[in-house]
Amino acid sequence: MSLNFTNVCNKPYVFAGNNYKNNLKAVSFSGQELITPKVQEKMTAIESEIQKANKIAVFTHINPDEDAIGSSAALKNLIISKYPDKKIDVFIVGRTPHGAKCIDDVSSFECLNKKSDFEAIKARNYDLAISVDCANRDLMKDGSKIFDSAKKKIKIDHHPDDDNINNYADINLVCEDASAASQAVLLLADHMNVPLNKELATNVYMAIIGDTQGFRYMKKPDGVFEDCSRLTKTGIDSRKIYCNTMDYMPKEALKFYGQVLNNIKFSKDGKIAYLIDDSLAERNAKTGKYTNTSKTLKKDGLEKADVKGILDNVLSIIMPNIAGVKIAVKINEQEDRIKGCMDTGASLRGNGVNVDEFAEKHGGGGHEFASAFIGSKEKADDIVKSLSEYLKAKEQQN
């Protein structure tokens, strides 16, 4: 289908809230003409597939974060709002974040695991499978078995995919300027003329809070705030959603939280703050062996999701903002005993410093100020050293 460019650009971008009906420009995502003819064409194609399908399955990446689960819930809500008779199943693989408690119908989502009867689920014969916030197909894990069995497949995402190597669906809508995949879902809701409701807005908002780490990491801040302004107008409990997503702390976690804070170390010049995962394991005085951290924590009544939440919080929010710190890094140092070499991973956060280049040099990647890599042959100390050198070189450039 070819589209007349002029027609598309002249068409007012109608926000579902109708407050911006007279606004002639697409202002979502920082005033950019986000709705290019190509995006417009794709959204029209997506709508027509949704219209045709009776049974729809929604998927996202393993261990969904707030954006993944919020976008899934938002997509289900938007489809049901317009087509109440369609059957929509949302599938989840792995643990869900605490923010998911804000989603009304999260209990209706189906969890896939080793025991799931995949043949029986495939026999439901889904007409359409849609993935959200899932950059590549493998991240769906077991979900991909069902995704692949659907007659038509759609991907809605926001992770950059320069070479289109991850176009694993029939229609691939990737909005790279969106800070959360849920903003792309919101765009689709607008395109389909689905008015914003409180539930849909809650899901989209929670997803944005999660992926921007509470408005700290945004690709296009004005676009994020414009979208959030529309969402809050529906009467969502923005305080509750924010606190549930960002500030939740189970009592049992306090000891662990303190332990993590105590283990933050610094490079000599104080510009690199680092945390080595292993230092959190407890050493058995008799055997001299380290007890697996997750086992110790289980004893304390902590769930894996809580542990991850605390580590994310310390790495993304506390560490980069300690006075003088430019780069924060959490290093998971382990040895590959079979290969006889190190197999180290690291998550990086930059305080105004690009850390993505460093991660890319180590075979990883992500975003400018939040990036990661795995499978390095270096030890933790060496990574801290080369990070120091990397930072020095960066500072000399400026």
Residues that bind Mn ion (CB under 5 A): 67, 133, 181, 211
Least distance CB 297 / Mn ion (angstroms): 26
Q: Which is nearer to Mn ion, 133 or 226 (CB)?
A: 133
| 325 neighbors 271 (Cβ within 8 angstroms) | yes
Q: Which two tokens stand for residue 89?
A: 């199943």
**Strands 370-376 and 152-157, how do they pair?**
unpaired
**Strands 370-376 and 365-366, how do they pair?**
antiparallel
For tokens 């989603």, what's the residue? 103
| 275 neighbors 264 (Cβ within 8 angstroms) | yes
Tell me the C-alpha distance between 352 and 324, whole Å.
Answer: 12
Measure the N-to-C terminal CA separation of the chain; round to a whole number of Å.
47
Residue nearest to Mn ion (CB): 67
∠ CA 254-260-266 to the nearest 5 degrees? Answer: 150
Least distance CB 365 / Mn ion (angstroms): 15
Least distance CB 178 / Mn ion (angstroms): 8
Least distance CB 231 / Mn ion (angstroms): 16
Q: Which is nearer to Mn ion, 77 or 212 (CB)?
A: 212
SS3 288: coil
The total of other beta-carbon atoms located within 10 Å of residue 171's CB is 18
Q: Which is nearer to Mn ion, 149 or 212 (CB)?
A: 212
Least distance CB 44 / Mn ion (angstroms): 24
State the alpha helices, DSSP H only, in 53-110: 66-82
Q: Which is nearer to Mn ion, 207 or 319 (CB)?
A: 207
Least distance CB 290 / Mn ion (angstroms): 34
Q: Which is nearer to Mn ion, 133 or 333 (CB)?
A: 133
Q: Which is nearer to Mn ion, 135 or 196 (CB)?
A: 135
What Rg value do the Cα atoms of the chain yield, rounded?
Answer: 22
